[in-house]
Structure 1
Amino acid sequence: MATLRLLAPLSGQTWPIERIPDPVFAQKMVGDGISIDPIDGVLKAPCDGEVMTLHAAGHAVTLRTAEGAEVLMHIGIDTVALKGQGFTSKVKVGDQVQAGTPLIEFDLDFIATHARSVLTQVVIANSDRVERWEKASGNVVAGRDVLLTLELSAAAEGGYGSDGASVTSAAILIPNPSGLHARPAAVVANLAKTFHGTNIKLQVGDRQANARSVTSIMALEVARGDKVYVIASGAHAEAAVAKLAEVLAQGSGDEGSAPAPAPASTTVAPLSAPPESVRRKSEDPNVLEGVAASPGLAVGEIFQVRHTEIAVTEEGEGVDAERRHLSAAIDAAKGQLGAIRAQLHAKSDAAKAAIFAAHEELVSDPDLLEIVESAISKGKSAAFAWRAAVNTHANLLAALRNELLAQRANDVRDVGRRVLALLTGAEMPRLEYPQNAILIAEDLTPSDTASLDRGRVMGFCTVRGGATSHVAILARSLGLPALAGTEPAVLDVPNGTVAILDAGKGTLRLHPSPEEITRIHAAQERAERRRVEDQAHAHEPAITRDGHRVEVVANIGGLKEAKKIAGLGGEGVGLLRSEFLFMERSDAPTEDQQYESYRAIIEAVGTDGPVIIRTLDVGGDKPLTYLPIPKEDNPFLGERGVRVGLDRPELLRTQLRAILRAAPAGKKVSVMFPMIATLGELREVKAIMAEEAARLGLPTIPTGIMVEVPAAAVMAAQFAKEADFFSIGTNDLTQYTLAMDRGHPKLAPKVDGLNPAVLQLIALTVEGAHREGRFVGICGGLASDPHAVPILIGLGVDELSVSLPSIPAIKAQIRTLSLADCRVLAQQALAVGSPEEVRALVPDPDESSLPPSAGAGGAPSAPAAPEPVPEPTLAAH
């Protein structure tokens, strides 16, 4: 028995390895040990030993001690994906080192903002030799404090069964983007250990490794695309080879591993439609259901859109020739995409242009090209290799649980088809649509959607996709009603079938009667007349019949929208989604870039108009590629909103500095923090803003919170003592209150902000805020709902922040209302039991205003409204 003491290789807080947000380490598949949350950037040798392995990405190193212990140190989680950026190796394999010798230097700040975590694992790869453990707790200092004390047994003798006749697998192309690093190596080693009495090796070229040893596998330095053979002998040789070969080919449990390009004997599997089990079926066979991707109502005839398959030749004309073909096609595709982007920029449509800028990046994605190059080098044609790689990437994205990322599979397919057409010389005919067409497709691509003839196409339905896809974004910008996630039966509807597409209800009604069509056309005509009339009076204030003024402002996502506010009668900005600065780019915007954008928007709104800037709201359904957030089983209850900023304070501080610098451009600029759930979070962000304001020599600005979490609504009275204003995000507040994902295909229709439970929380928020003289706005979708507007006014909401097109209509509706009647209606709404009952209280928007002292349809008056609270102080206005 030997005793081994390992010093801390880094200074920082120790963590039990079981709590690491990585199942392979947490489940001790690599080995038992401990983790450190480091505060310095130099990994030092914890003991004397020999450098056994040093990963090519520079993030992991293994030492072998004189006692035979294999000490693996792994800096961060998912840092292999950084491909060496931020790491500097100070040793090489074979070096003899002493305790305290620097092994790896790393940029702690860079890794903290580019990797899932900086938690650094110190594990014993051959933990089966450890008889007793002593693990440190609390803070440790590198090179001084003992991190682990181990009692080691003697090394095991003998092998794992007779070498006898061996079984060798076919060549396995490793699909892992970063090769067989610690995580996949641990999966392989643990699987190999289950085959008792069997000797198993992995072979790459003329090098072999013990398949039971994580460090031995890592020492092979297997890279993506390398050919690996599994060799086994003994009792279960054939079974071991078959199982390990299968696991290796599938990526050994490594996320993001793309299966290698199919060999000559295989064909690429067709893309499967989403499972029918996720569809919510109507009892009426003529009604097909989906999720609203773009609002609106349309009447037209079904037109099925089907892309023809582009044929490819598998065998190439030679490696050099195929590389030239690929390079030429990629250059041509970039030229086409650049031209589209330039045209959209010329039309001041930055949102659409950003989609095609992202496509330009996809064309030259290094992982995609690496797969293509591997196949070309094996004699495949560029077209065959490209098609296989695109299908691999698209299928991997489509299978992700994160809806937003899964929907980017369609962008990969779109880019893939463009390049494939250039490689094969296939014609890409511009689709011609009949008049009054409602398009039906398994999926449309952004290229399809951007080129739609708005004069002929009334709307569309797709089986794939969702409300956050680029196709949905384009549909909304075109004003086209659209459904996504529609029942697959829609693909069987014959061309020419008359249908009504009601995106508001999420339905496609087939074979409507002439009377239904007449009613729809009449409603559309009334809506158009009303729109013209509302626009004519858009600049008049929103004052009820009894003299109560409601502020109507806009939700915007950039300068282009800011410039439209005044023309539509908006009084300012109730929600500036600052994410527009952070999305569709490879790194975070600088302080100066943010400052220039915020200042331009404030100036476009005008110095007298309020501008509320929400700090970065990502996480959950809004990821950023350069801001990795650990994978979570339930991301909507995890790290999102203000939690991201508090976890990465420099990101938050940079944004706050930019906002504070831009604020003097207007008189009523304020900042708002998303996803506030505790008073501690509010106090922390206010303290950070005060510090940054002091450093800049500028005054702080009014600070508000988004009420999206029920806890914030319930504690509104306490929050009102410290927040200057409230803005209720009804979309998230509704889904958190009802525990229903608003993007879920089955549950989305039930996620209604007029649920009495949600209205009770809004009432609580208003009551608590007004008690302290704070104003309350609504910036969620409920503010634009004509059925909700009178109830919200009756509950005491001071401001409605709505989508740009809704501004004239909402202001016009408010002018038809009476505050007294709205208060009565609000009390009735709080007393009923379902959102359907609430909606039944409110007249249809096409009908006249509320009758005096009664709800809709002359319903009996409710008890008198409570005594009015003091008028709120419009701190941010």
Structure 2
Amino acid sequence: MNNSTQASRLDLFAPLSGVVVAIESVPDPVFAQKMVGDGVSIDPISNLLLAPVAGKVTQLHSSKHAITITTPAGIEVLIHIGLDTVMLRGEGFTIKATEGSEVKVGQPLIEFNADLVARKALSLLTQIVITTGDKVVKYIPTTKKTVVAGQDVVLSLDLAGATVVGQVAAADTAIQSGAIIVPNPTGLHARPAAVLANTAKTFKSDLKLLRADDEANAKSVVSIMGLEVQHGDSIFVKATGPDAAQAVKALAELIASGSGEECGGVATAVAAKHVPKPQARPVLKSNDPNMLMGVSASPGLAVGYIFQVKQEVIDVAETGDTPELEKHRLEKALKDAFEQLETLKGEIADPVKAEIFVAHQELLSDPDLLDLVSVGINQGKSAGFAWRAAFTSYADKLAKLKNEVLAGRANDIRDVGRRVLCLIAGIKEAALEVPNDAILIAEDLTPSDTASLDRNKVLGFCTVGGGATSHVAILARSLNIPAICGIEEIALQLANGTPVILEGSKGCLRLNPSVEEINNIRERQVKLAKRQAEELETAFEPATTTDGVCVEVVANIGGLEEAQQSVKLGGEGVGLLRSEFLYLERTNAPTEAEQDKIYSDIAKSLGKDRTFVVRTLDVGGDKPLPYLPMSAEENPFLGVRGVRLCLAEPELLHTQIRAILRSAEHAKLAIMFPMITSLEEVREVKRIVAEEKAALGVTSPVQVGIMVEVPATAVMAEIFASEVDFFSIGTNDLTQYTLAMDRGHPKLAKEADAMHPGVLRLIANTVKGAHAHGKWVGVCGGIASDPAAVPLLIGMGVDELSVSVPAIPAVKALVRKLSKADCQQLAAEVLQMGTVAEVRARLAQQLTD
């Protein structure tokens, strides 16, 4: 390698025409505090970025907004167009130079749409930063207020004895994996990212994750999360270094298996599926001045008093001692923080929830984060100042991501960041002192705060930030604390001591309840507890009306655990097994053996005297399977779903039918098909069941029934009844299809009421048609568990109520108080009504009679 002495002065020419701005004035702490390096900024009036120096393009960011040129003397010059332009993912940028190419001063590098970038990014301010500050003795910015691209010197550098590199050693060969489908239901969020980064750190090679045009440092949790990898995305692992082959193999297998999460096995590269774009969470607001709305984070009811939680600001000096001393302070704080988190982990009984703090520990050694801090300390900043700037910058960037799960992890970074900052500053944050019967209000709580709450005093909490998928919400549910996230910001203005009622299940906070209202609710809580105890005592008695009519009360379940629980609560069988739980959140279809085992285990838990109704796979456009590519659908609820999908994928259906049939010897088996709309569909699924039953030699009786979810099926009930053994009415879907209202729509959901007279008439017509042929009818939709609806359903002649598992004792107890004759009279009356309000009012009266 030939080296020669380099001149001590290096001039950088303006890459853009515009106004020169001091780097300290840039509204981004990473640049203003020179965390990346020193330099200047230009507010541009041109849109073609030119090379400020001659050298080699050593890095071209995948989002096309940033480029690094390394001069022959080894000076790295980063040019970063705009602020927060990484979020544009390359939109509006056109590359004019390639990575690895040699460029001359004034050569075009990147062209950008100034109007588009200005509208979508925080700013067009373009930074010219020297990232190899150790090689620079002095920075001399131009004194001109405006500069012309390629003509005016914008920054001069006095160099510290740099050398010219005549020949660069050949780099290690890069190795890249094939496409890997990410199986994790919520993508590579904090916990799988931590597992992945921790494994990556065991290799010497440089490791990158690639997704489309974006890349991330595989050894950095925050970098991985910033890549915003979603469920079903295709990504690649790229490695350069001495152990590249081993690293690529290990990381590819880890990603495919779920990076520590149970996702259903190793993934294989499949055709890309349609993935809906993340939708922004609707802003909830109440028109009632005494009601604040949010998102249910953890269910439950609490009556208490407001206590505002506000974090104290931790002050740190900007200027530090020697870099060696500041780095020592940082290292000690990181070590102490790790030990604190280890203690906190041990206090969480659920090992899955404890993994939240394992991810926090991983953040303490995140290379991207620590590199940023190190640069700041080398620039003369104190450890506290550099650490705060680094973690704040990363948290703010994550918070802006569209993916709600990943954006919620910004709170985790702030939590870890504050913990370390306290240790650096020598501050011991006192335990949160709260009064009795407290309902906490906070802009945000951290996972550490939540795990440390005194359950003897804290009855619930509300936060302005966060969501139902945040780690705070997960911990709240595990601790059985009622909680609301995303509540209206006016909650922060409520005075301490204000009496409130927190309804976690509904996501609402009722203000200023009267003493009488509070006392009434507390009395209700006492009465409810007493009534539940009484219902549990009689849970195994049959649900027989006062005039001797028996109604079967069974359970809606999603797995073995709920089946076992239903038996303990007096359930008389299963009226709906949602078999899709076996198919979702994994990257390949469950095998026949897997299905066989779970169906048989559930059937055995019920016993031969209990009903076991299995609904075949009910997925489709609204619930896509990653291993079953489907075309994008404009209206997925009206598309290929339910039985339509299964008949289009016969191998999938035949495999499931065989697995279900093998459980027939253990319980009273029935197979139910969803989304049936035609007799042709019924005849085809009956043929498949008969064919597989004969092939397996199954002699036990097996009923074949259909879901009534489509108005056409309800209208034709008598015709369908001649072909099937039973009906089960899915009132949730039947309602949305009858009323043409999406039951998940933020504005219309409350109008999609199953008590609509049109829906009730369809239910009554279904029962009439079934009974005309001696077939039984169940209801497995939400109204089967509604105490107001139970008398009405019995009055219409419904034979079976399939309810949520916890509701079994209460529904059975209610049936035993009713007279079938009275219920029939009620139904006759209600079916003549024309509005939901009239129906609801009459049913409410029935409850008080």
**1:803 matched residue in structure 2:** 804
**2:779 matched residue in structure 1:** 778
TM alignment of 1:210-249, pairs within 5 A? 230-231=109-110
- Shift of the 727–434 alpha-carbon distance from structure 1 to 2, 3 Å rule, reads farther
Task: State the shift of 1:606 in Å.
Answer: 2.4
**1:395 matched residue in structure 2:** 400
TM alignment of 1:655-694, pairs within 5 A? 655-664=656-665, 666-690=666-690, 692-693=692-693
Task: State the shift of 1:452 in Å.
Answer: 5.5
Task: State the shift of 1:166 in Å.
Answer: 6.8
Tell me whether 1:174 sits opposite 2:62 in the alignment.
Answer: yes
- Shift of the 424–451 alpha-carbon distance from structure 1 to 2, 3 Å rule, reads closer
Q: Which runs of 5+ in 2 are unaligned?
A: 1-45, 53-58, 68-87, 126-210, 227-278, 378-385
**1:201 matched residue in structure 2:** 96
Distance 1:717 1:728 in 2: 14
- Shift of the 338–472 alpha-carbon distance from structure 1 to 2, 3 Å rule, reads closer
- Shift of the 244–447 alpha-carbon distance from structure 1 to 2, 3 Å rule, reads closer
> For 1:790, what is the secondary structure of its paired residue?
helix
**2:726 matched residue in structure 1:** 725
Which of 303, 307, 314 is equivalent to 1:303?
A: 307
Distance 2:315 2:692 in 1: 60
- 8 A contact 1:325–1:382 mirrored in 2: no
2:62 maps to a residue whose letter is I
2:307 maps to a residue whose letter is F
> For 1:787, what is the secondary structure of its paired residue?
coil
Task: State the shift of 1:363 in Å.
Answer: 9.3
Task: State the shift of 1:552 in Å.
Answer: 0.9
2:756 maps to a residue whose letter is N
**2:714 matched residue in structure 1:** 713
Q: Deviations over 1:686-742 (max 9, x none)?
A: 555555545544468433333333343333334334443222222333233333343
Q: Deviations over 1:31-83 (max 9, x none)?
A: xxxxxxxxxxxxxxxxxxxxxxxxxxxxxxxxxxxxxxxxxxxxxxxxxxxxx
- 8 A contact 2:612–2:669 mirrored in 1: yes
- Shift of the 363–188 alpha-carbon distance from structure 1 to 2, 3 Å rule, reads closer
- 8 A contact 2:755–2:839 mirrored in 1: yes
Distance 1:169 1:489 in 2: 50
- 8 A contact 2:583–2:589 mirrored in 1: yes
Distance 2:402 2:621 in 1: 16
Distance 1:697 1:328 in 2: 65
Tell me whether 1:285 sits opposite 2:292 in the alignment.
Answer: no
Task: State the shift of 1:643 in Å.
Answer: 4.8
**1:742 matched residue in structure 2:** 743
Between Structure 1 and Structure 2, how many residues are aligned?
Answer: 615
Q: Deviations over 1:325-380 (max 9, x none)?
A: 99999999997898688x337xxxxxxx4x77799799989xx9898799799999
Distance 2:396 2:684 in 1: 46
Distance 1:632 1:374 in 2: 45
Distance 1:329 1:678 in 2: 67
> For 1:303, what is the secondary structure of its paired residue?
strand
Task: State the shift of 1:462 in Å.
Answer: 4.5
Task: State the shift of 1:238 in Å.
Answer: 7.8
- 8 A contact 1:288–1:490 mirrored in 2: yes
Task: State the shift of 1:301 in Å.
Answer: 1.2
> For 2:540, what is the secondary structure of its paired residue?
coil
- Shift of the 376–747 alpha-carbon distance from structure 1 to 2, 3 Å rule, reads same
- Shift of the 820–237 alpha-carbon distance from structure 1 to 2, 3 Å rule, reads closer
- Shift of the 323–484 alpha-carbon distance from structure 1 to 2, 3 Å rule, reads closer
Task: State the shift of 1:443 in Å.
Answer: 5.6
Q: Which runs of 5+ in 1 are unaligned?
A: 1-163, 180-186, 194-199, 209-227, 268-273, 346-352, 399-405, 849-877
RMSD of aligned Cα (Å) = 5.4
- Shift of the 719–469 alpha-carbon distance from structure 1 to 2, 3 Å rule, reads farther
- Shift of the 513–638 alpha-carbon distance from structure 1 to 2, 3 Å rule, reads same
- Shift of the 733–305 alpha-carbon distance from structure 1 to 2, 3 Å rule, reads farther
**1:60 matched residue in structure 2:** none
2:61 maps to a residue whose letter is L
> For 2:401, what is the secondary structure of its paired residue?
helix
- Shift of the 238–304 alpha-carbon distance from structure 1 to 2, 3 Å rule, reads closer
- 8 A contact 2:782–2:803 mirrored in 1: yes
**1:153 matched residue in structure 2:** none
- 8 A contact 1:278–1:745 mirrored in 2: no
TM-score of the two chains, using structure 2 as the length reference: 0.59
> For 1:278, what is the secondary structure of its paired residue?
coil
- 8 A contact 1:534–1:812 mirrored in 2: yes
- Shift of the 484–799 alpha-carbon distance from structure 1 to 2, 3 Å rule, reads farther
Tell me whether 1:344 sits opposite 2:342 in the alignment.
Answer: no
Distance 2:667 2:91 in 1: 64
Task: State the shift of 1:165 in Å.
Answer: 13
Distance 2:332 2:723 in 1: 64
TM-score of the two chains, using structure 1 as the length reference: 0.57
- 8 A contact 1:332–1:422 mirrored in 2: no
Task: State the shift of 1:286 in Å.
Answer: 1.8
- 8 A contact 2:47–2:113 mirrored in 1: no
TM alignment of 1:17-96, pairs within 5 A? none
Distance 1:654 1:311 in 2: 64
Q: Deviations over 1:785-844 (max 9, x none)?
A: 111110111111111112222111111111111111111211222222222211211246
Identity of aligned residues (%): 49
TM alignment of 1:474-493, pairs within 5 A? 481-483=482-484, 485-493=486-494
> For 1:555, what is the secondary structure of its paired residue?
strand
- Shift of the 775–435 alpha-carbon distance from structure 1 to 2, 3 Å rule, reads farther
Task: State the shift of 1:780 in Å.
Answer: 2.1
- 8 A contact 2:415–2:448 mirrored in 1: no
> For 1:204, what is the secondary structure of its paired residue?
coil
Distance 1:723 1:337 in 2: 57
Distance 2:357 2:723 in 1: 45
Task: State the shift of 1:540 in Å.
Answer: 1.2
- 8 A contact 2:60–2:99 mirrored in 1: no
- Shift of the 585–302 alpha-carbon distance from structure 1 to 2, 3 Å rule, reads farther
2:302 maps to a residue whose letter is A
Distance 1:469 1:683 in 2: 46
Q: Deviations over 1:214-249 (max 9, x none)?
A: xxxxxxxxxxxxxx97446xxx99889999999999
> For 2:400, what is the secondary structure of its paired residue?
helix
1:344 maps to a residue whose letter is D
2:304 maps to a residue whose letter is G
**1:825 matched residue in structure 2:** 826
TM alignment of 1:634-645, pairs within 5 A? 634-645=635-646
Distance 1:166 1:528 in 2: 71
Distance 1:256 1:780 in 2: 45
Task: State the shift of 1:464 in Å.
Answer: 5.5
Q: Deviations over 1:512-538 (max 9, x none)?
A: 111222222222232222222222222
**2:152 matched residue in structure 1:** none
Distance 2:485 2:817 in 1: 35
Q: Deviations over 1:288-328 (max 9, x none)?
A: 2346566554321123455678999999999x999999999
**2:770 matched residue in structure 1:** 769
- Shift of the 660–468 alpha-carbon distance from structure 1 to 2, 3 Å rule, reads farther
> For 2:510, what is the secondary structure of its paired residue?
strand
- 8 A contact 1:790–1:817 mirrored in 2: yes
Task: State the shift of 1:782 in Å.
Answer: 1.0
Q: Deviations over 1:261-307 (max 9, x none)?
A: 9x9xxx9xxxxxx999833432x422223465665543211234556
- 8 A contact 1:359–1:415 mirrored in 2: no
